[in-house]
Structure 1
């Protein structure tokens, strides 16, 4: 840009170029006026929101007001400076005569030294730049806005050729008056853009679309999903985007068509907490509306929800977390509960059964001699005792399957791959995560003696025997010894693996 301006000066700056800068300045000025109106309306809407819901919007309004004050101060300074620049020009729209840069060259500079007025210009830039950063520093969502402001209003030295030159010299020294005017109008545009970005980011979009109460939905939330007849229903009607500062000015609600009185609900942390009798078994309707203050007017949010009341239970819910059997040798997790009864009022008993916490139990069937175990459950509610039981089959752990490189059965493999492969074991189609560790196995190469190997990989003797095997011959890995951590029974014999050598 600097080189272009120098070239223009060398050509005595054509009238067409000067007029082009003037037209650009006019368009920027018009755009700035429109942006100022939008920002004023935006701020007025935020002020109204702060009046309607001070706890929610007052902090946002305070920060926006601080940004607006910084913007207004800097913008007023630029307006005053631009007025002084054109004070001696009879027609401020006669851009073709604005080809000199005498005013700013004398106002900002004295030779290579920046005069106090130039220092003031830099100070105004710094005040706005650092002021915005200070106001927004605690808001992570504003990081990009702060970064953008620091870039647009930076006054660091500028690289020119092999050296650097001061920012003020680079941008305003020796330039035509109309070009400097346009640059300052652009600065004012950046100021207004910053205002807009701050407020829109704070509210996640325009006030109309993002904070209007018509965008909220209601949810019915309760501590439990069903209630016994005669209980007090203590559910809460909440907004889908609720917080501690969101509170309706009044409510109009009915339960099964009957209007609720003020002693049947409370306002708690942005919620309407109900205090009504749950009624007879069946579904019950909560309907009506919540009324909120918005922009000085009332906005109604419809409510339409339901809850169910069920009879008191007489049967327990007992389920095995894995399947309808329990296994010897492992800790079988189980969930035991009575519908509608707190876990601390439920007890379960059976050989090998122990409680972990709440409704979580563990069944260890290792010491049980038979093939079945019966679990007896009792629960207490409202001074009454209810009981139930369930019977589970007891099964032994399945037979493990031997593996080589994770594969089982009969497989083909190159000799060098077998040398480095790991011998393993696994339970096929077993519901428990029960990793097995191989501690030894027997290795047989046709025509060679059987070798007992310790560990899970071929040792030196096994590798030597393998080197004598012919291509296509079958190698056997059998009598695999495996164990599982935490298993208290002897595992069944692990199935062997057969490998056909491909080289």
Structure 2
């Protein structure tokens, strides 16, 4: 609109314009001063963030001293975050310096000479295409930083990460033909001090995002560790059954447990309920010697994924209340046999116990189990000692009777003499010697010789000498011809038992019917 031609009115209009310009200048000065205050605050904040981030990086170094294997991969990621963030931060710092230079630089006090210059930011960021270049770098940095977050947390971090590349809701161009570009929205025709402040804000976003990522990486060092909030004393004794002269040893420790996470415990196939981190397993014990219990402890993985399972095996000894020496086959030792003996001592591990015997030999077969062999009838004494705390201690002794294996019973087939059917006798091959009702199984006697006589009605008496269990050939025909009423005699029968001694058995007669 043209000014009125009237001089008075013209003067009034000129004064109005001057006053309006002066008012505008005053508002601009206040705004510029406000930008200065904000920019200085951002610079201070960036310095504090740098110090804080450097402290976290130093903590990675300290953690490496304690557990390098676990920390090293996370420290390497943190170093990569530091490198990427520093590159982006320095690039933005370079843009700030370029805009300041384009606007006329700084005065001798370090203040911007042209804080209100609107051309420099537009020229650098739009005309020189530094704005799109910055947008691309910040977008790439954001994507790279999110890759250092665990997949399960990426969606959460994507929402909260300070570094965001976006245009405000009011961002439309001056012509109304569409939304402003990111560069235009932030840097088109803004004062130099405003552009520097905006770039400082992006630097602050970079520092804050760097801080969020490395904090999360540092958290991961102990993320898979269980947080124990209670302690309990544990006392383990070397034995709860001690003898005079033994030494009591107690191992005392403090165990930590969680009141919020109870493990799943399985012992010998049985699941045990745990309360406040502790489960109790009880079972009656039986048998003598060393026994074991085994199982697993399973805890949820604090970091998610498969549960953590640990196996365990613990051994214990079962013994009698006092020293026990017993023959497994009665209180008798038999000559020529492998006599099994069980020996146990309360409160003493089976591996510390040893035994000896006079008049024979004793051999250890297993935990608490021995084999004794003797050679002379009469008595034998088994003596038991134990190595306790490096000293040999007498535990006890026991006397046993030593006997020969009982005489066998002479048999032809299943018959032990007396009446026997002729038809049954004729099909037998010889004379046998068998033990009946004996404690040991599998003990055998061998028939080594005998004299046999066959008395058949109406026939001459036949005799023969055998040097084995089989009937001799000299009487084979007579045996095949046996009939009811005939008799067969066995005399001077020699048998050999497990002790190797040949015994003479009483004569026996079979009357056939």
Higher radius of gyration, 1 or 2: 2
Q: TM-score range by the shorter chain?
A: 0.3 to 0.5
By relative contact order (CA 8 Å, sep 6+), the higher-ranking structure is 1
Alignment TM-score, normalising by the size of structure 1: 0.40
